[in-house]
Amino acid sequence: MDPYELETLFKIMETMSSDRNWRLSNPNPCKPGSQWPGIECKQGVDNHLHVSRLDFGSNPSPSCKNTATFPSQIFNLPYIQSVFFYKCFTHTKTSLAIPPRISSASSLQQLSLRSNQALTGPIPPQISLLNSLQILTLSQNNLNGRIPDQLFTLTSLIHLDLSYNFLTSTIPNQLGMLRKLVGLDLSYNSLMGSIPPTIGQLGILQKLDLSSNLLTGSIPPTIEKLNSLVFIALSNNKLGGKFPKGLAKLNSLQYFLMDDNPMFIPLPFEFGRLLKLQELRLANSGYTGTIPQSFTQLQNLSTLSLQNNKLVGEIPVGLSSLSHIYHLNLSRNMLSGVVPFNSGFCNRLGRNLDLSGNPGLCLNGSEPLDSLKIGVGVCGKNNAPYMIKPLKKSQASPTHGFCLLFNLFSVLGVWVIYLI
């Protein structure tokens, strides 16, 4: 190895790990047959062996000592291509420091720092010096501050993951410069403002996760240009307004997760045109109106979560023909009428079917269904629902006609049916 590169490597190892005396135990870390764990080397055109990858924190790679701090010397390894730090900086406070001049600018393609609770401070603007970077993962750390505009000059990026940090401010408009991006994850931060319309310039994006932030406004119409999008998660924000008219153009979409947003609009029928959709989660968002009939066309759907909204009307009969569905939650709405599911459908879903909290729903008595498991009673006269609720002492005298009241005595473990 080049003596300068070898000395740089020794300093990095002494900063990071106390597993052994790295200088004495193996003075030739790239030597074939006696290579250090967590290191990969490649032979260069100069016939020297050069460090191309360093991996810390996960077996069988070197463990990280309690006093480990981020070793900015890694950027002085001229042939380094990939660097991984997993649960390394957990005790001693440190920051992502990038010197103004680095040797690895043209070589480093992947930088990953995950689950480092002592890694704090902002993402430095000098990140732009890593101009060959294709994968940047800074997830589950304690990074804060705004996302620097300079990051978006890294136009070779394919995957960008800044999730589970404490990043603030808005998502910069420069996001649209990352035309090669396939995966973008900014979830679980404190990002504010609207989703920038420049997101529509990410033409080959497949995964978009902006969930659990403080985003406001509506989904920009430019999102219809993301026709390679497979996964989108916008849950737990403050998004509202109408869905873009071009929603149905996302014909590659398989997962749409948008729970916990103050929408308060009717469910758009355009979802029914996303024929590859496998999961649709729109719970806790104040949706009104009926469940669109178009939803019955989603033959690949496995999960439909619409609980805790303000939906009315009957459950579309066609939902019972969705052969791939295994999780259906329509609880805590204002749905009414006869449940259109037969015993085979209910048994297949089991506890993954929840219709509770819809006082107007009832089951056809001709089907051998366990009404208590799905939270719906058996229909009475003229298909009117019976009341199903625990019997209280104050209800000992009837006040309304006839109804069946089920009371579960947990001590005895038996059902007692009262006819009053």
Q: What is the CATH number of the domain that holds 51?
A: 3.80.10.10
Two tokens, residue 52: 């191309």
Distances in whole angstroms, Cα of residue 20 to Cα of each of 23, 64, 140: 9, 11, 28
**Residue 57 covered by a domain:** yes
**pLDDT mean across residues, the chain:** 88
Q: What percent of the chain has pLDDT over 90?
A: 73
What's the structural domain count of the chain? 1
Instruction: Output the pLDDT for position 132.
Output: 94
Per-position DSSP letters for 306-346, written without gaps between them: --SSEEEEPPPGGGGG-TT--EEE--SSEEEEE----HHHH
Instruction: Output the pLDDT for position 44.
Output: 85
Instruction: Output the pLDDT for position 393.
Output: 35
**Residue 333 covered by a domain:** no
Residue 309 has pLDDT above 60, yes or no: yes
Cis, peptide link before residue 60, omega less than 30° from 0? yes
Among the residue ranges 14-23, 271-280, 296-305, the one predicted with the least confidence is 14-23
**Residue 290 covered by a domain:** no
Among the residue ranges 192-201, 263-272, 361-370, 396-405, the one predicted with the least confidence is 396-405
**Residue 381 covered by a domain:** no
Prediction pTM value: 0.88
Supply the range of the domain harboring residue 110.
Answer: 1-143
**Residue 135 covered by a domain:** yes
| 19-44 mean pLDDT | 82
**Residue 191 covered by a domain:** no
Instruction: Output the pLDDT for position 394.
Output: 36
**Residue 288 covered by a domain:** no
**Residue 162 covered by a domain:** no
